[in-house]
Structure 1
Amino acid sequence: MRIGIFPNVTKRECAPWVQKLLAGCRRHGVEALLPAYVAESEQTIYREIAAVHYHPFSELMNTIDFAFVLGGDGTILKLARSFALAKVPVCAVNFGSLGFLMEVEPEEMEARLEAMLQGLYFLEERTLLHSELCCADGSVQELPTALNEIVVAHGNVGKMIRLDMSINGHFVQQYPGDGMIVSTATGSTGYNFSGGGPIVAPQVKCLMVSPICPHLLLKMPLVLGEDAVITFSAAHSRNAVRISIDGMRDQELPRSVTLRVKRSPYTLQMIRFDENYFYTNLFTKMTGRK
């Protein structure tokens, strides 16, 4: 077996655990590789790792069987598209402030590695969102893939915008307000949840649309089938509108351009060990209960 180790190099607490995971891999006869950018980190402990473990990111994605990601939910969001395209299953190790996507704690890593070697795990598929900008001249600009959500919102704080929303080519509603959230089941516990949307278990195949502070009496979120195609137009908005993809990519939505959002053909495969982990995380990390 060959695994890739992807630490969040901005979290100093990850570094010693990378060393421990490398030692565990040696004990179990597992080849462990790291992306070359890790060696360029300011943390000297990464430069002490033998050069043979480091490989270019693209080469790594084509050669590993599994990935250990050490970080928080944001680390998963940054790498999700790469893992999905390469069809590399991910074991997520929690070093985040919330770590809702993470099932494994640092001290459990070697035990989980042993379980993987014995086949004592299952794969959970997470839906991704594909989005594109459809221009008046017929051209289409593809946007980065999202794991959590795509947000269409005001570009200026305190300025109301108007978004025309259609589903599967049928006009549904013009929403005046702060914007709209399109989320996956994964993103249902993120911005969607904060905005009053439903929490959905990860195995439910659906998309959700939640208005952000709408100036409407009818302001309920919608749960749609996974094959729904959602489009937004800002043609009737006097104020600037922007698109945010998983909180990382941000750009303007011009009035002459339509945003189209649908399910991506790719999925992110998460390695899981406990079928009830989602509910355990939900009622501990999201409520403060122990």
Structure 2
Amino acid sequence: MKVAVYGQNYVKETTQKAVQQLLNFLLLKNAEVFFESEFIKTQNEAILNSSEVQTFETLDSSYDLLISVGGDGTILRAVTYVSDLGIPIVGINTGRLGFLATIQIDEIQTALTEIFNGDYKISERSLLSVSTNPEHSDIVNTNFALNEIALSRKNTTSMITVETHLNGEYLTSYWADGLILSTPTGSTGYSLSCGGPVIAPDAKNFALTPIAPHNLSARPLVIPDNTTVTLRVNGREDQFLMSLDSRIVTLANTTIVTVKKADFVVKMVELLDETFLATLRKKLLWGEDRRN
């Protein structure tokens, strides 16, 4: 098996501990191991100088698996390497909440044994694809997002207006700090913290969630994932920010942003005993009450 390993590009004790366990397991299974070229620089000398470890800067379809070591943010960055190649992603959690990176450090050997034995399932996650009007098309390089695309204010404390059309029909103009368009995967991220709904990963929906709206009647809206969303920003400043997961670009207010469902999916590896509902209970502490 040909395995790519990606992680955070800074030294973290828990990450190094996880990587060592992971590498020991992979070499025991005679896997071909490739570390991302920057990530390997954060590892100890034994790994850095190992003849059994190779490096990669980009991926191709010859890889069987990508293992992300970190939190959910690390997986979002790992997705930019996988893109539309269809390489399954496994997340080892050395971060905090971990909706995507669900394997804990003390579970690495057990979980990967199941995966290498074929005892796993694939969760296909939809993505958002963004395009802009031609004069701004060269600004956005990696034009897809697994969690969300968000438009927000820049260099000002004043609100912006986000004019929103769905399939060419005018919806409203959100007067707010910004607007989030979230996938089901991203519904438990930024959108959730702004009051958006939790959406099951296999639901065919997206969510529009305003960020601190001043028109108090504005509420999150769930829309079909085959909807084309067109956005245009107005405000006191001439520019605004657009984030695609963790990647941020600055755009002029003359930019028209068009968002659709991407024509490919990301394959997340899940263990057979994992369910989304169990993850919600565990991560959001649903049903927990210190009085009981």
Give me the TM-score of the superposition, normalised by structure 1: 0.89
Q: 1:247 to 1:7 in 2, by over 3 A?
A: closer
Q: CA deviation at 1:27?
A: 2.6
Q: 1:286 to 1:188 in 2, by over 3 A?
A: same
Give me the whole-angstrom Cα distance separating, in 2, the residues matched to 1:38 and 1:215: 43
Q: 1:206 to 1:6 in 2, by over 3 A?
A: same
Tell me which residue corresponds to 1:3: 3
Report if aligned partners of 1:72, 1:95 keep a CA contact under 8 Å in 2: yes
Tell me which residue corresponds to 2:186: 187
Give me the whole-angstrom Cα distance separating, in 2, the residues matched to 1:12 and 1:45: 15
CA deviations over 1:160-191 (Å, ceiling 9, x no partner):
21121111111111221212110111110111
* Partner AA of 2:66 in structure 1: A
Tell me which residue corresponds to 1:32: 33
Report if aligned partners of 2:77, 2:246 keep a CA contact under 8 Å in 1: no
Q: CA deviation at 1:143?
A: 4.6
Q: CA deviation at 1:15?
A: 1.8
Q: Which moved more, 1:194-203 or 1:266-275?
A: 266-275
Alignment of 1:217-256 (within 5 A): 217-234=216-233, 236-239=234-237, 240-252=239-251, 254-256=252-254
Alignment of 1:1-290 (within 5 A): 1-10=1-10, 11-41=12-42, 43-48=44-49, 50-58=50-58, 60-135=59-134, 140-141=137-138, 142-144=140-142, 145-234=144-233, 236-239=234-237, 240-252=239-251, 254-274=252-272, 276-287=274-285, 289=288
Q: 1:36 to 1:257 in 2, by over 3 A?
A: closer
Q: CA deviation at 1:38?
A: 3.1
Q: Which moved more, 1:184-193 or 1:211-220?
A: 211-220
Which secondary structure does the structure 1 equivalent of 2:18 belong to?
A: helix
Q: CA deviation at 1:95?
A: 0.4
Give me the whole-angstrom Cα distance separating, in 2, the residues matched to 1:222 and 1:104: 32
Report if aligned partners of 1:242, 1:251 keep a CA contact under 8 Å in 2: yes
Report if aligned partners of 1:167, 1:228 keep a CA contact under 8 Å in 2: yes
Report if aligned partners of 1:133, 1:143 keep a CA contact under 8 Å in 2: no
CA deviations over 1:235-283 (Å, ceiling 9, x no partner):
x43334221221332313x232201111111211100014543222222
Q: Which moved more, 1:84-93 or 1:12-21?
A: 12-21
Mind listing any 5+ residue stretches in structure 1 that lack a counterpart? Answer: none
Q: Which runs of 4+ in 1 moved over 6 A?
A: none
Q: CA deviation at 1:57?
A: 2.3
Report if aligned partners of 1:93, 1:106 keep a CA contact under 8 Å in 2: yes
Mind listing any 5+ residue stretches in structure 2 that lack a counterpart? Answer: none
Report if aligned partners of 2:16, 2:43 keep a CA contact under 8 Å in 1: no
* Partner AA of 1:130 in structure 2: S
Give me the TM-score of the superposition, normalised by structure 2: 0.88
CA deviations over 1:13-71 (Å, ceiling 9, x no partner):
222332222222233333322223333336435324x134113222x544320121111
Give me the whole-angstrom Cα distance separating, in 1, the residues matched to 2:173 and 2:19: 50
Q: 1:222 to 1:13 in 2, by over 3 A?
A: same
Which secondary structure does the structure 2 equivalent of 1:159 belong to?
A: coil
Report if aligned partners of 1:39, 1:54 keep a CA contact under 8 Å in 2: no
Aligned residues: 284
Give me the whole-angstrom Cα distance separating, in 2, the residues matched to 1:276 and 1:117: 17
Q: CA deviation at 1:212?
A: 1.6
Report if aligned partners of 2:120, 2:270 keep a CA contact under 8 Å in 1: yes
Report if aligned partners of 1:16, 1:45 keep a CA contact under 8 Å in 2: no
Report if aligned partners of 2:120, 2:271 keep a CA contact under 8 Å in 1: yes
